[in-house]
Structure 1
Amino acid sequence: MEIYFLGTNAGVPTLQRNVTSVALRLLEERRTFWMFDCGEGTQHQVLRSPLRLGKLEKLFITHLHGDHLFGLPGLISSRGYQGGTSPLTVYGPPGLKAYLDISLSVSQSRIPYKLEIVEHSGGLIFEDETFKVEAGLLEHRIDSYGYRVTEKDSPGNLNTELLKSYGLKPGPLYGRLKKGEDITTDEGVLIRAAEVIHAPKRGRIVVILGDTRPCAGSLPLAQDADLIIHEATFAHELAEMAHQYHHSTARQAAELARDAGGAELLLTHFSSRYTSQEELAPLLKEAQEIFPNTLLAEEFCTFPVYRRTPGNDPGE
């Protein structure tokens, strides 16, 4: 599970950064990737990346402002020309379906795969045997949502060293133990599955928040997350401007990560007034003073999502 940024700028693109889009790579978990927001030019960013649109399974829109949305019709249309034949589901606030229906119908775009558009107003919006996705309303000029992606716990591995001590070799009996069945060896030894299976692997939690002021809705979404992605449009010296434009500062993002008990924070959605990573350094500094395990998002860079386990919690 990895995060890959395709766009980190707020409002409009610049020569240094494109507008918002982030990919959650689930190649080991699902052999696919999911995308969150799709600002204008995102399909061009994909062409410069290791991502392939044919592997795109789900796309989540946080809100209907153009810098998060205008790249969507083009990307949906191009996906079919780039080997995309599997179904694609797009999630977002009410109004998303009308926007896409008009864009795709007026342009007579041909979509050679099943496209499903799911409008939501928060709550549980997707769940299967391995993942669930919940959405929560934030505070912005229009309805803006954050998404909490929860990987479900997976069964623990067999304690092969212990099984070897019983004289048991890999084979069908291993499979029965893995399913939770107790077995009896040829020598009449009872082996209880619960005693030879390690504890389940804790699923990871990734939280991707849309544009927002500090608000009550952020905290439950971000609670105990392994990774929080939060906008940091301004440095805190511009907190009044951030509030006026319904955005957050880097310090406010760090305060949310601290209060939520998060493990790691990635800052993104930077104002175009900051034209380089060097100019973003004060935002990183003010955030790290509150929440040390903070990094700045960089386009075309991969950020692993670490599994939090007792004793190696990055937030400790």
Structure 2
Amino acid sequence: MFVWVNSGTNFQRLLFDCGEGLLRQIRQPDIKAIDHLFLSHTHIDHIAGFDYFFRRNYDREGTPVYVWGPEKTSEIIHHRLLGFIWNLIGGAPGKWYVTDIGEKEMASFSFKTSEGFELKHPEGTMDFNGIVLETPGFVVKAALLNHIIPSVAYSVEEKESLNISKDRLQGSGFPQGPWLEKLKDFSLDENEVITLEGKDYALKDLRKELLIRTPGEKIAYLTDFIYDEVSRQRALSLISNCDTVVCESQYSYHDEDLAKKNYHMTTHQTASLAKEANAKKLILFHISERYSREEDYPILLEEARQIFPQTYFPEEWDIME
């Protein structure tokens, strides 16, 4: 899953898992500008496209590459970085940060292109409280689910924004002008006086009258986990009131025994999770190869819609619904 987050002043590009062929659907300039790669786990089908990503970013100049995943991710990524001969690298730029997410703690390490990625530099640890990344514009949360091994589910939530209401501004009779920029600049003293049409107003009063709060969007990515009680509760907490839930649905509900055996989800389980979480939309992906796109996929979709009607496949799959 590839996510763009527009904070208003810049874009952040987030990639969730890196399966084979995935990046060929993304423009080269965007691949080279991906800020964070979030791995659910490191089974081969979720990381087989890593070399394609690495080839285009190993010597990125200016901004580091950040990789996140469950415990041992740093060890596995380090082996991947060392899988090439670096005798021609010279003093090339490039720095990678890899963070292992554990039940109680996150541990970060860095790797330098100029060193041929030979050394694994400890960057410290911090308590894991559900948040893995927080920026001024959005927050990324994570939950460890059960796939025999840990599988990390993620949510991305834009922070609430304050915007000037055009209707309120028009109704106030205030003129437009540079003074409007001060309304959203919270480094200014709220008691600062602004003169409009010959009258004085405190900045805090103008904010109260003209600014409206707009909630940010929330999207979640969950894959490769069993529908046991611990995973269910953790997933529900993560995706509560989500705008879009992107979730695996490996099996038909008729094949629940296979889902339990392989630690995956069924159509009914995924749909029930979205319904209980009060999600707005559910996107199914990661369907078992045992099912035919032409014959079985429409049936799988209908199975999920019996429980959660706002269920879809990814648009690029071009599946007749």
Q: Does 1:92 align with 2:69?
A: yes
Within 5 Å, give how 1:129-144 maps onto structure 2: 129-144=136-151
Say whether 1:38 aligns with 2:49: no
Tell me the equivalent position of 2:34. 56
Encode CA deviations 1:97-141: one digit per residue, 9 max, x unaligned.
Answer: 111212212313667422111111252111111111111111212
Higher alpha-carbon Rg: 2
- Any idea what the Cα deviations from partners look like across 1:259-294, whole Å, max 9, x if unmatched? 011111000001112232542011110111101111
The 1:160–1:196 alpha-carbon spacing in structure 2 relative to 1, beyond 3 Å, is farther
- Report 1:1-316 matches (<5 A): 22-26=1-5, 30-46=10-26, 49=27, 52-80=30-58, 86-108=63-85, 112-121=93-102, 123-157=130-164, 159-164=165-170, 166-179=172-185, 181=190, 183-188=194-199, 190=201, 192-214=205-227, 215-299=232-316
The structure-2 alpha-carbon separation of the partners of 1:292 and 1:89, relative to structure 1 and needing over 3 Å to count, comes to same
Change (3 A) 1:277 1:266: farther
Instruction: Count residues in correspondence.
Output: 276
Q: In 1, Cα distance between the equivalents of 2:20 and 2:295?
A: 25
Amino acid of the residue matched to residue 259 of structure 1?
Answer: E
Rounded to whole Å, the distance in 2 between the matches of 1:151 and 1:290 is 28
More contact order relative to length (CA 8 Å, sep ≥ 6): 1
Bigger mean CA offset, 103-112 vs 29-38: 103-112
Change (3 A) 1:162 1:224: closer
Structure 2 unaligned regions, length at least 5: 104-129
Higher strand share: 2
Normalized against structure 2, the TM-score is what?
A: 0.77
SS of 2:35's equivalent?
A: strand
Specify the SS of the correspondent of 1:282.
Answer: helix
Letter aligned with residue 70 of structure 1? A
Moved more, 200-209 or 169-178: 169-178
Q: Secondary structure at 2:275's aligned position in 1?
A: helix
TM-score under structure 1 normalisation? 0.78
Give, as a single letter, the amino acid of the residue that structure 2 aligns with 1:217: R
Structure 2 residue aligned with 1:12: none
Amino acid at match of 2:198: E
